[in-house]
Structure 1
Amino acid sequence: MTTPISFAHLFRLSDDIGLFEHALGSVPRREHGYCVDDVARGLVVLSREPSPPLELIRLLERYLDFVRAAQAPDGKVVNRRGTANGRRDKPEVGDCWGRALWGLGTAAALAPTSRLRAQARTGFHTSAHRRSPWPRAMTFAALGAGELLLAHPDDRSARALLADAVTVIGPLGDDPAWPWPEPTLRYANGAVPEALILAGMCLPDRAVLANGLRLLAWLLRVETRGEVLSPTPVDGRRPRGDPGPGFDQQPIEAAAIADACARAYAATGQNRWLTGLGRAHGWFLGANDTGMPLVDTATGGCHDGLEAEGRNANQGAESTLALLSTAQHAHRLLASRTP
């Protein structure tokens, strides 16, 4: 079963500037303003949408303008913006820089008009020469670089960024029980194997591709309990940690698994990755550690977290985009499959 894709809550969270980060229930919390982290995620989701109607194209254009306006001339990115008082942060090369490149690279490859694709590619090149010392930021940047390379294999800046991201992510660990290239599982974990799979496809590098697939298979084992996805909670997951489910589980974790499984399927054609995608999608529908659905069919939004006692009542941008992204993959790859 796949859930219908509704952009109603995304429109509710958006205005003529960008996408509000937080919500109280389903009501946007305008006082908290906007951030590139979420607007770039929105740019990814809208760029992926097949044959979008005019209202979605206009929303994509708004998000693209927001991300490009957040880029400093030197390629760094300012993450936060208020509704009235402009930018709130200093330019940086942290996660917001990486996610900006993810959104720009995806839009440069997949946006529905040549004008928007050209604008996004120009924005990508503005920041693609920078490098971040943080592996997760480089991971997000790699996703945009790889998406751009799939459309434009001759793009040298994207190729160089993707190759450098593989180096920063680092080699897999020697311990078969913990091959993860970091001492703990943290956040958006599925993005790490996806970046390696994408790099293996685009550079191309069979060893890197194999490492990405191996890492994703391991992550799925670690984050599966019985037949349901049990994502790493906010506090992370460590070697030899508590084997029971952890809470607060975040929609971004399930979405990153869905992204990685869809990418692995594109690279291999193996149905095992569709099983992982199905579990990620099912997590939103109630096939999770509490049996409670995260999707709100009345609003089109997604609850912000799965807790031991229930759900976070709020429906912010990150969670709603995680639902939309996962549903897009499910409709494209799972909707025609027989149970």
Structure 2
Amino acid sequence: MIAVVKYQQLRNSAELTPLVRVYLSFLNHMQKPDGGFHNYLSYERTYLDMEGSEDSAGRALWACGCTLNSSVPEELRMVARDLFERGLSMRGKAVCLRFHAAMLLGLYEYHQAVATDYLRDFAKELGDIFVQRFQDQAKEDWQWFEPYLTYDNARLPQALFAAYRLVEEPQFLEVAERSMEFLLKTQLMNGVFVPIGNDGWYSRGGKRPLYDQQPLEAAATVEATVDGYYVTKKREYLEAAESAFGWFLGRNTQGVMVYNPQTGGCYDGVSEHCVNLNQGAESSVCYLLARLKLEEVWQGVLSE
């Protein structure tokens, strides 16, 4: 849903609005009475989980925020707003930083559409959580929120960039930049983007795995660095975004194309010996999000 509404904004087109209606209907069906979301549904439309994951709930709220801050018909934006408002109840229950990151990104989008003070208060509250986690975990050689780097890492500094844009708390920007610098230093090798491999992840003081590299991390880094550029106007963030996007196009440790121009899909990752030829939905959506974010920023840069 995020990719669809971003595409429609950039193209000034309504051709994909029927998909937004489908996705919103799905989220409405999956939302629980307490505002959380189920994550798994059978073909018979019965729920296959009790609680759902915090990750999926955060992404659902982010998608609703993006839809509200779009040009889709008003009745769809109002559905997205209702889903988001009900989901705000999760804010005090969830503990996963990636949930908080996605919610902050959704709050930023929501506030762009409907500026209200309580949204800024929520953003301040969530931003403070990130700063506290950073202060608890950061060491001289480890400027990060957790004692490990796993998946979707760049969403964490991206969320603080969003929080700073909402409340202009200097500490949010400071921590966002320090953590983003650390992440880029860790994942850029001689100008080549090398995302943290999911074969064991990377614990502080441990050995960093190079494989298997996933599209999720490349896309998150593109979006986070572009948002860093929006806040700071530092060109090195744009250069980092281009390097991360280049991972999809063959500028990676194996020199293989991860995006498939014949199908429009994206392979599932880069391993030590080959590219994973499965073209899953998440991988393809990741490519689309990264591509749309770069198009968005370059449209703005060229018009300046």
TM-score (norm 1): 0.81
Give how far 1:54 is off: 4.0
**Cross-structure match for 2:64:** 104
Task: Quickly say closer, same or farther: Cα 1:176–1:240, change in 2 above 3 A.
Answer: same
Is the Cα contact below 8 Å between 1:44 and 1:106 reproduced in 2? yes
Matches within 5 A, 1:43-54: 43-49=1-7, 50-51=10-11, 53-54=13-14
**Cross-structure match for 2:78:** 118
Is the Cα contact below 8 Å between 1:186 and 1:232 reproduced in 2? yes
- Work out the CA distance in 1 between the residues paired with 2:138 and 2:245: 32
- Work out the CA distance in 2 between the residues paired with 1:114 and 1:206: 35
Any unmatched runs of 5+ in structure 1? 1-42
Give how far 1:119 is off: 1.7
Task: Quickly say closer, same or farther: Cα 1:174–1:253, change in 2 above 3 A.
Answer: closer
Any unmatched runs of 5+ in structure 2? none
- Work out the CA distance in 2 between the residues paired with 1:232 and 1:167: 26
**Cross-structure match for 2:99:** 137
**Cross-structure match for 1:13:** none
Give how far 1:233 is off: 1.2
- Work out the CA distance in 2 between the residues paired with 1:113 and 1:237: 44
Quick one: which amino acid aligns to residue 165 of structure 1?
L
Give how far 1:166 is off: 2.2
Alignment counterpart, residue 217 of structure 1, candidates 167, 176, 181: 181
- More helix by proportion, 1 or 2? 2
Is the Cα contact below 8 Å between 1:51 and 1:112 reproduced in 2? no
Alignment counterpart, residue 122 of structure 2, candidates 161, 167, 172: 161
Give how far 1:100 is off: 1.0
TM-score (norm 2): 0.90
1:171 has 2:134 as partner: yes
**Cross-structure match for 2:220:** 256
Give how far 1:85 is off: 4.3
Alignment counterpart, residue 95 of structure 1, candidates 50, 55, 62: 55
Matches within 5 A, 1:11-50: 43-49=1-7, 50=10
Give how far 1:252 is off: 0.4
Quick one: which amino acid aligns to residue 145 of structure 1?
L
Quick one: which amino acid aligns to residue 84 of structure 1?
E
Moved more, 265-274 or 105-114: 105-114
Give the fraction of aligned pairs with identical amino acids, expressed as a percent.
Answer: 29
- Work out the CA distance in 1 between the residues paired with 2:43 and 2:283: 21
Is the Cα contact below 8 Å between 1:274 and 1:334 reproduced in 2? no
Cα deviation digits, residues 50-89 of structure 1 (max 9, x gap): 2354441111221122112211121011011122242211
Cα deviation digits, residues 22-48 of structure 1 (max 9, x gap): xxxxxxxxxxxxxxxxxxxxx111121
Give how far 1:334 is off: 4.2
Matches within 5 A, 1:241-280: 241-242=206-207, 246-280=210-244
Higher relative contact order (CA 8 A, sep 6+): 1
**Cross-structure match for 2:111:** 149
**Cross-structure match for 1:83:** 43
